[in-house]
Structures are given as C-alpha cells and as structure tokens.
Structure 1
C-alpha cells in the first residue's frame, strides 16, 4: 500500500574511504541554448543575462517542473496528448518551455540506462530549440523505499539504514555515488535528502525514508548527504519543510495536521533544515502539512507565507530555490482549486511549482495573476533568477555529458557493500 502511494508523490567532501569520481570521457550530447545577441546582452552573470532576455510568458513557464510520458523524446504518448495537446515529450517541452522535468518509472521514463540518457538528451535539445533557458532534469532517487531508477543504478541503502550506522561519511559516500550515476544519465537534480525527523512511529509516509528520530543525528546525516551530492555536482533538495516527521496521515491522500509549537518546531523539526542550509543546499521542498501553531490560517505549509517566507526565508536565512511538493497530492488540493493553488504557492514564497495536475490551467492562473497585479513581475523575476542561478551553478547551461555504461561501477558497489555490511 505504501509503495503504491509513494509512486505518485514527493517527489530529495567525501570520507577518506570514498573512491574518486568516475571519469566522464563521453562526448557532449547536448549544447546550451544560444546566448542573447551581443547588442542585447546586458552585463551580469549568465543567469541574469538569460533572465533579461526572457518574455513574461517564458519566465512564468520556468516556475513549472512537470511530468512527461514515454521512453523516448520523439515518441508519442496518449497521456501527453490528453494532458498537453501534443504527443511526444519533446513537443511538450517545446510547447510549454517548462523550467524542469521530473522522471518517473510509472510515467514510462525508465527502462534502461542508455534509454534514460537518450531521453534526457532529447529533452534538453528540445528546450534548447525553443527557449532561452536550459531544462533542469530531476528525479526522486532517495535510495531505499523511493528509488525511481530501480535496477538501472547501484542499489544503495536507504536513509534509515545509513542513519543506523551512525557514520556521516556513509551518508556522504552514498549521496556522492548516487549523484555520479545521475550525472551519467543526464540528470542534474535529486529530490533528496529527506530532512524529516521521524518521531512518530505511526508515520505512514516518511518512516524509513528518514535518517532517524534524533534531530541532531538526522541533521548531521543531512548535511553530509548534501556535501556528497555537491561533490558529484548534482543539485540536492532537502525535504519536506517545515517537517513531515510527526504525522499519522499521508499527505498523498489527506491533509496532515502537526501541533508542534514554534519552540518544539525549532527543537525537533528545524535542525536538519538549518544544517542543510549551512551546507549550501540547492533547494528545499515544502510539505503539504498544516502546522496551526506556526500558521493559524489552516493552509498547508506549501501555501503559507508565514512558513515559507517567514520561517524558511527570514528566520533560517535560506535564499536558494523553494520547491513545492507535488501539486497533484491530495494534501494541497483540499481547500483550493488547482489554478488557485499554483498562485497561492507563488505568493507564499515557492519558486518551483512541481507536478501541477493541470499544467495549462496552473500556468494560465499564474500568468493572469501577474497581468492583474496580484503577483508582481518582480516577484516572478526573483524566483526565476534563483532557478537560473541554480542551473548555472550545477552546469545545466551545458554541455552535459552522459555515460550510461559507467553505472554500477566497482567503486560504487564497494560503497554499497561497505554500508550494507555495517547495517546487517
């Protein structure tokens, strides 16, 4: 039951024993989008120049990370046709110009290493043909219970098993090896690590996905994992803010309520996120949970300005990318319609709108909110600049090399064996 529910949501330096990164000798398979013409090129970073060249419509499109159906960029799918009005994943990217795509096995995106590498290459090429900004391709590869790439990649222990070892070097090494294999597939962002402190044994959605139940120990593991992903030059996403560990309700199917006071939150939930921020985590994902003592409005954190802006931005000082959890989950759809949810998430402080159930409706709602003045264009620019800076930092402007034959290397298998040996 749990695995079935997880299939639709949530999409999270190395120790002396760590192997050196696998060499990447493959030829580049994609190119960065053409830069603005010299006469139109303002001063500033590549991210700033790209933003300056974008239309309002393209800036709004950058906020969305979506699902596409199919194994090949150029192969048509009835699911794409029904949802987007075009058949192939490449046509979806060309039509809507989203900021990102997230891959899923249940969307038919994952069947073989060479296939995934070809798909990511084709999607990036479609983005380069259609807009100023490159496409960020991500995946939920937490390892353990949530492993979207299945048998394609090295089987590593999940977070709870790593936490049981008590060694942060294991969290670093597994994250680094995972990140290297994602890069070999053309994937630049992992929606990991889970930063929740699993203090409720009845928790139906986090459980073994967390490093443990002790805030300090979880924080240390999360910081090490962020370091590991960065050593592989892959973007990391700490989730699910402000904390999804103390709930007995699954936000895929309901709206959890957590009654922690602000003092309890600072002691129990916040430490892993503070540590992730201290380790320069690229992004933080919101939770579809209500915490009435942090925000009495009754809105889930994903739609709460007090939580995303007040706590995450202002109290914790995070200036990276804030991503919503999947917007097709029941926990965020109970109070408002799918169009209004997208608008309210932006107003709350979110930068990335993940997996809207109806992309055209959500896109139009955000665009209309900007045109009406409900959301300022300056606010959109702030989010887009964060997204573009992340892409620049992680090399998404290209070229990106893939090397699917490098997966499951001997060095990575040794990392897995070493950690499993301690757990078992």
Structure 2
C-alpha cells in the first residue's frame, strides 16, 4: 500500500478544531432535536403505520445507497482553507441526518437485537471456538442469532495481514448492524496488532512520556490509526489515562498524562479510529474520595475534551466514592454520578471485563450484566459467559426491571458513534 502524504501540523490542528467544534455542537443539538422527534413521531403515528413503514424503508434504501457511493480508501479528511468556515446550517444538517439515521435504526430493531447490541465480546465467545482466525458459517450463524455491538480481537486472532483483513471484512459483512471492531494497540509490548503481524512496534506510553513531547504522542497515535484502519479496526482500547509508572501509562504527572492522552485521542481520530480511555477512575482502589480526585480525573477530562468516544470503567472498587466494595463498573455512584454527572461525559461508557475474578466471585453472569446497565453503563465488555449475561439482561427488560427506554438511551449513544464518521463523509461530498 502506498505511503500516505504527511499531514502538516497546521492542517492537523485545523482539522482537529473542526471536529472538536462538531462534537460540541452535536451534543447541544442532539438534545434540542429530541423534542422535535417526539412531535414528528406523533405525527407519523397519526398518518398511519403503513405510511410510516414506507417512509422508514425509503430512508433506509436512500441511506444505504449513499453509503455505497461514499466508500473510498480511508485517508485523513480534507482540511478547509483558513477562509472557509463550516456554517451552522451545515453542522445542523449533518447532526439532523445522524439523529434521523440512529432513530430509524432503533425504531426497526427487535428487543433481542437491542440487548445483544450492548455487548462487546471476543470472537471465541461469539462462536464457541477456541481461537478464531476466520469468519465462516459459525460466525454467520452466531451473528444472526446474537446481533452483538462489537467484537474484540487479540493477538491469537491474528496470523497475517491478508487473513486479518479478510476475517474482519467478512465479519462486518455478516452483521445486520454496524459493529465496533476493536483491539488494544497501546504501544510497546501491549500492542496486539503490531505483535501479531510483526510490525514496527509503536513507542510505549512510558517511552513517549520520557520524551516529553505531546506532538510525538500524536504522531504515534496517527501511525497506529493508519494501520488499524487499513485492516478494518475502528476502535482502540489502548489509552491508559491512569497515573502510573507502568509501561502502558504516560506516567504520574497529571499535566503530562493529560496532554499525552488528549494528543493520542486526536491522533487516533486522524484515520477514523475511535478511542477508549481506560481505566476509570483508577486501576486499583486508593480509597480516595471524589473531592480528592482532581489529579486522578484530570487525564480523563482531557480525553473527554479531546473527543474520546468511549470510556472503560474499571472492575476494582472505588471505596472512597461508594463507601463499600462494589466494583466501580457496577456502581451508579461511579458511572452515573461521577463520570456522567461530575465530568459531564456524554459518550459511550463500557464496563471493564465482567469475567474479572472480583466480579465472578460475587455475581452471577446475568446479575453482573444487569447491575452494569442499572449503574449506567452502555456496553458490557467480555462477560464471563456471554449467553447467560445476554439472557439475564433480556429477561430484566422483558420483566420491567430495566426499561426498554433505558436500553434505547445506551443504543443511541452507541449508534451515534458508529454512524458519525459515515455521515461526515456524506456531508463533505
């Protein structure tokens, strides 16, 4: 594959500012448009179910045609010249289109698919195989039964470039809905794809922190985004926002870590790879109260401001916040009050692995998954037993323990991320 032209610093800053403004405006407009949709929905009901169904089918066909026409080789978005500005009307049009796409998708989705869409699992959990390196009949059958929201691939799923590209492409084509195709490419020894394909290993977070150059962190993330995009990945879990002296962290200075995290988020966005910050609020329980967490939370706030699409809440307890030993990802005090409330995060919140021993020792798979949704999480990551977890959430919705509106709330956040880049491409044509 030919090398892509290098993006100048000024162009990169300009594009980042454009995308940042779009994200800020999208959050504001999303809530404003919600009221309009309620009115439109009532009007559509009045016109009759048959007309509503026809409208939805026509819009789906039109949108799918637009997506096919817009498929081009992935490359950084074109940057407007300084005298060209994105108008409010253009932003509003893009946001309205995104809201319409998401609303229509959810309106046609059966409850079983909605619940499955909350799960991010491994290909082995999906198919029951020991090590998946190809998407065949087993993958197709499993995706037809369980329309999961995302699949996480590790080194054992990677043999060579052709195999990886074909497996991911086939999996995406088999799914009824857009998928998160995820891995952890954190730099250094923790890079799943670079390790599996024997690529030049990207610098680890600790190396980047030692160099003290946020620009280098951006360039490294941009390189990672380039090859992840090429193989079909659209989500990277590889941003550790914790203050730590481990190889996979940017150090213990909150100002340095905050800068590095923000630059990594924007660097990944260069080639359309979404970023997930880990592990909120801290990887181990320090007993620190929310009031005493300013330094700990600063890197997460920097990542949020930079546009991080997803944040993973850790499995360890945050006893200073919860006053007990509840796992953070199952605690509404951590997920809803602190992350949503205090930090104002409106993106996708995903749990840490629910197969963690500290969780499995205390909760059944179904109970853990239900507790995560009740706490405010949007997605469940690698449960101990996927089918039991899925059935637990489905039963909770069917019995009214969890409302379908609550499921729709999470799916709206998820699908806004999944469709956002496609709408951008269509709007920029």
Tell whether the structures are fold-level matches, with TM greater than 0.5: yes
Q: How many equivalent pairs are there?
A: 338
Q: How does 1:342-421 map to 2 (within 5 A)?
A: 342-395=369-422
Question: Contact between 2:360 and 2:384, CA under 8 Å: does it hold in 1?
Answer: no
Q: 1:297 Cα deviation (Å)?
A: 3.2
- Residue from 288, 296, 302 that aligns with 1:260: 288
Contact 1:239 1:285 in 2 (8 A): yes
Distance 1:89 1:212 in 2: 40
* Distance in 2 separating the partners of 1:298 and 1:14: 49
Structure-2 change in CA distance of 1:389 and 1:329 (3 Å): same
2:124/2:131 contact within 8 Å kept: yes
Q: 1:253 maps to which residue?
A: none
> What is the CA deviation profile of residues 74-98 of structure 1, one whole-angstrom value per residue up to 9, with x for unaligned ones?
xx874389xxxx9723332222110
1:14, 1:173 within 8 Å by CA — same for their partners in 2? no
After superposition, give the CA deviation of every residue in 1:102-138 in whole Å (9 maximum; x if it has no partner). Answer: 11123xx1001111110011101110xxx3x212211
8 Å CA contact retained: 2:158, 2:196: no
Native 8 Å contact 1:159 1:210 kept in 2: yes
Alignment partner of 1:211 out of 228, 237, 250:
250
More helix by share: 2
Report the 3-state secondary structure (helix = DSSP H, G, I; strand = E; otherwise coil) of the residue aligned with 1:192. Answer: strand
Q: CA RMSD in A?
A: 2.8
What does residue range 43-62 of structure 1 map to in structure 2 within 5 Å? 44-62=99-117
**Which residue, out of 189, 203, 208, partners 1:162?**
208
Deviation at 1:357, TM superposition (A): 2.0
Q: What's the secondary structure of 1:232's corresponding residue? A: coil
Task: Give distance in 1, aligned partners of 2:154 and 2:201.
Answer: 17
1:77 and 1:87 in contact (8 A); partners too = no
Q: Mean alpha-carbon deviation: is it higher for 89-98 or for 175-184? A: 89-98
1:277 aligns with 2:332: no
TM-score after normalising by structure 2: 0.73
Point out where structure 1 has 5 or more consecutive residues left out of the alignment: 1-12, 22-35, 202-206, 248-256, 400-424
Equivalent position to 2:185, from 137, 141, 155: 141
Shift in Å at residue 168 of structure 1? Answer: 0.4
Is 1:93 paired with 2:148? no
- Structure 1 pair 69/39, CA: closer, same or farther in 2 (3 Å)? same
Secondary structure of 1:367's aligned partner: helix
C-alpha separation in 2, matches of 1:65 and 1:123: 14
Number of the residue aligned with 2:55:
39
Matched residue of 1:187: which SS? coil
SS in 1 for 2:221: helix
1:228 is matched with 267
Counterpart-to-counterpart distance in 2, 1:53 and 1:398? 24
Describe the superposition over 1:154-207 as per-residue Cα deviations: whole angstroms up to 9, x where unpaired: 311110111111110011111111011101001111012110111xx6xxxxx1
**Is the radius of gyration larger for structure 1 or structure 2?**
2
Measure how far apart 1:397 and its partner are.
12
Q: Match of 2:77?
A: none
1:145 aligned counterpart, secondary structure:
helix
Q: Which residue of 2 aligns with 1:335?
A: 362
Aligned: 1:79 with 2:130: yes
Helix, strand or coil at the partner of 2:278:
strand
Q: Distance in 2 between matches of 1:301 and 1:156?
A: 31
